[in-house]
Chain A
């Protein structure tokens, strides 16, 4: 797999981020190909989440470029990056606890991009009702797809941890992403839940959505990832297929050395 083909979805070049004296991300470049499940792995504190936060515009970038579908997106506000087609979940749960599952998913429809304005909403105009029916249908389809239909009207805080994680994925899917960034989706899940999650990620990928996955569980990475990129102290250690990566001495030293295979 060449790393410079034209069908790249996401291309980072020389991405760098400093927090004070700490270089959290140091000159990182990679390519996520269309339809790929791309795993970003590395020990704790290696800068994986910072990379995602830089891609989604939560932190400003110090230097380097981020191209999404060929166009630069660095410097755009986060909601615009979402509108372009990048959705994400968070490492720590960030479903809205006071809202129902359906309402959490509805949040993925955003505000300001498309859809009727405030007066249509308040007056319940025909256009508003049409949009509402359309949204309901679409969201119910996604809840069905991820397996949350049975708890559609439950408050998010009443869901078990694993299903709240799925809810975050559902919410991300509602934004109609072309690229989905998953930040440790398997963290804290039991093996049954991990199995369900892996099936879900595969079927999301089959829908033509590219996935960038941060994950600590090697069985998840090994099962899902087409391409693995290893980060340590904010810099690249290696990249390649999982089978190559797991034999790489530098990777084993940096990451798999303790408690790995």
Chain B
């Protein structure tokens, strides 16, 4: 087992890299599009790895941040005609600011209450986009913006570079003192606080980083599709992103990338099942949770379930501090 793990650790990133570089040249046009979506999603999911996997802040509003990034980019480009690179920077900055604001409810709300808040945020953003028709195009969607780079292949390789950098950063963060402070918040917020972790500040950092990556991913999404509509940013999308993080084991950037690509592919493979493919998701999750053998993964999943309030009574909050 340990040997298998070591093997996986050393060769998995290499194999993944080779796959991502070679695949576009042997794939059909359509398959390549799905792969691009997968890579774009992976950038977003790495942000969620920090927020949900490390810090344990369960967010189901992440599609809205993706939308914020994509729409800011699109609107600035279409309505103001700014240079695409300027639009991209503005989109990432704006998404980071919006996402950071989401950290503030997390100071007071925990578990299911925080989840409901993020779901609410997601819906607000989607409805805003739907109704601000003069700016966003409403239900008709938004199209006609300039791309960052001339061809899809160039955009794809830019995404790969960004993905590589983000993955290295995420891994480094996870192993650092700051990453450990984040992981401590997931496992035992009070112990973290008492050990000198400024929990509020750490949460702000986690929300900000994940929002920043959602912004980057959103910009790429706009570049890939050339068109966006509120339908692409529903709560169901957020749930899929959460699933990607959970299935990845919430501990490794490489695993998060692989699970993002696979789960982006899955709906295409399962197209014949129509809407019942959601059942397959549930099934995958259940089987996965049953067979989940990596202890750290198990602990992380347990922490999340506990945060949702389904765990043992008194597993969080004051009751654990001890009797008088």
Contacts and interface: CB of A to CB of B under 8 A. Distances in A.
Contact of B183 (A91, A99, A121): A99
A108 B194 contact: no
Contact of B202 (A46, A99, A112, A124): A112
A121 B205 CA distance: 13
A122 B172 contact: yes
A98 B294 CA distance: 11
Interface in B168-211: 169, 172-173, 176-181, 183-184, 187-188, 190-199, 201-202, 205, 209
B323 A98 contact: no
Contacts of A78: 190, 193-194
Given A45-B324, A109-B177, A98 B194 contact: no
A111 B173 contact: no
Contacts of A94: 188, 190-191, 320
B134 interface: no
Interface in A50-109: 50, 53, 56, 58-59, 77-79, 82-83, 87-88, 90-92, 94, 96-99, 103, 106-109
A99 to B, nearest CB: 7
B183 A96 contact: yes
Contacts of A196: none
B56 to A, nearest CB: 11
B324 A79 contact: no
B324 A106 contact: no
Nearest to A135: B177
B30 to A, nearest CB: 35
Contacts of A82: 194-196
Contacts of B196: 79, 82-83, 108-113, 175
B302 to A, nearest CB: 9
A81 to B, nearest CB: 8
Interface string B151-181: 0000000000000000001001100111111
Given A113-B196, A118-B178, A58 B321 contact: yes
Contacts of A25: 324
A47 B194 contact: no
A230 to B, nearest CB: 14
B193 A77 contact: yes
Interface string A105-138: 0111111110101100111100010011001000
A215 interface: no
Given A111-B197, A118-B209, A58 B190 contact: yes
Nearest to B182: A111
A12 B246 CA distance: 47
A44 interface: yes
Contact of B198 (A79, A88, A92): A79
B195 A108 contact: yes
A90 B322 contact: yes
A113 B169 CA distance: 22
A234 interface: yes
A112 B197 contact: yes
Contacts of B150: none
B296 interface: yes
A155 interface: yes
A121 B172 contact: yes
A164 interface: no
20 contacts: A44-B323, A49-B321, A58-B190, A58-B321, A77-B193, A82-B194, A90-B191, A90-B322, A97-B299, A106-B180, A110-B196, A111-B177, A111-B198, A112-B202, A113-B198, A118-B205, A121-B172, A121-B177, A122-B169, A157-B295
